[in-house]
């Protein structure tokens, strides 16, 4: 579902990503690990079509990243929630769901808010939300719409244990439904639940394989 070929991203004299070739199939959850600044977020933004590569490319379901067809398939959960203080949380969800043709948006929104512990906050604007609440709101926005690929950048950060469990369930349901899931993370427990692991160091892909190997443990402890 997601495939990159010799993917490279350079800005002025800085190379953020160099020659990354990998594949994530439908129905699989893959952890994306590496030190801070390794290029994980850049990879996700390129796959989401938010950045243009300097070389190589990414396809989503056979379509170039950033194309209309690819954008329709990708749900992107950034590391910093993108929320508007002049809209209520419910209005955020309605807008995203309607934009992607979700007819039963009200039921889906209510379900997500309940599962994430936000059932009483649908009418509230996110300006007064805590970091954890803003993260949960961002998760709800990512899951309120249909997708074939989920790209999530440190989605478990800022969550309390019940919310982490809720996100675990949502990710598992998405993969069982056929989505390809890529989770950038530094949490060992997240990696251990994944089907596979990609590791990036200094902009290069240094590992592509099982999530339970000694090499993955080394990379996470670095």
Task: Convert the pLDDT of each residue in 142-195 to its tens digit.
Answer: 999 999 999 999 999 999 999 999 999 999 999 999 999 999 998 888 998 999
Neighbouring CB atoms inside 10 A of 173's CB total: 11
Q: Kindly state the tokens that stand for 83.
A: 């929320």
Domains of the chain (ranges plus CATH)? 2-80+147-221 (3.40.50.300)
Please compute the mean of the pLDDT values over residues 21-29 and round it to a whole number.
Answer: 96
Long-range contacts of 93-99 (CB under 8 A, 24+ apart): 93/122, 93/140, 93/141, 93/144, 96/141, 96/144, 96/145, 97/144, 97/145, 99/145
Distance CA 76, CA 183 (A): 10
Q: Which residue has the higher pLDDT, 8 or 12?
A: 8
pLDDT higher than 90, residue 207: yes
Instruction: Tell me the pairing of strands 204-209 and 196-201.
Output: antiparallel
Share above pLDDT 70 across residues of the chain, in percent, rounded to a whole number: 98
Q: What is the average pLDDT across 202-206? A: 94
Structure tokens given for 149 = 């690929």
Those residues with Cβ within 8 angstroms of residue 110's Cβ, 6 or more apart along the chain or in another chain: 119, 122
Average pLDDT, the chain: 93
65, 54, 45: which is closest to 18 by C-alpha?
Answer: 54
Tokens representing residue 173 in the block: 């349901």
Tokens of 79: 């590391």
Residue 87, phi-psi category: left (phi > 0), alpha (psi -120 to 50), beta (remainder): beta
CA distance 140 to 110: 10
User: What 8-state DSSP symbol labels residue 124?
Assistant: S
The dihedrals phi and psi of 19, each to the nearest 5 degrees, come to: 65, 40
Examine the pLDDT at 222 and tell me if it is beyond 70: no
In angstroms, what is the C-alpha Rg of the chain? 17
- Tokens at residue 210, please? 């099982």
């Amino acid at each position: 579902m997601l495939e990159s070929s010799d993917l490279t991203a350079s800005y002025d004299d800085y190379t953020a990503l160099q020659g990354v070739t990998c594949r994530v199939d439908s129905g699989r959850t893959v952890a994306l690990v590496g030190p801070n600044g390794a290029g994980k977020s850049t990879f996700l933004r390129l796959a989401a079509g938010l950045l243009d590569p300097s070389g190589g490319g990414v396809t989503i379901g056979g379509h170039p990243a950033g194309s209309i067809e690819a954008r329709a398939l990708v749900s992107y959960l950034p590391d910093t929630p993108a929320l508007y203080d002049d809209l209520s949380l419910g209005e955020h969800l309605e807008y995203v769901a309607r934009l992607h043709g979700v007819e039963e948006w009200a039921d889906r929104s209510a379900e997500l808010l309940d599962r994430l512990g936000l059932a009483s906050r649908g009418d509230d604007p996110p300006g007064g939300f805590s970091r954890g609440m803003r993260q949960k709101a961002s998760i709800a926005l990512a899951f309120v719409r249909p997708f074939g690929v989920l790209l999530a950048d440190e989605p478990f950060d800022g969550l309390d244990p019940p919310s982490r469990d809720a996100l675990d369930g949502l990710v598992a349901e998405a993969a069982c439904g056929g989505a390809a899931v890529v989770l950038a993370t530094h949490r060992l427990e997240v990696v251990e639940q994944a089907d596979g692991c990609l590791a990036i160091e200094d902009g290069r892909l240094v590992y592509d394989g099982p999530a339970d190997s000694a090499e993955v443990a080394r990379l996470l402890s670095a």
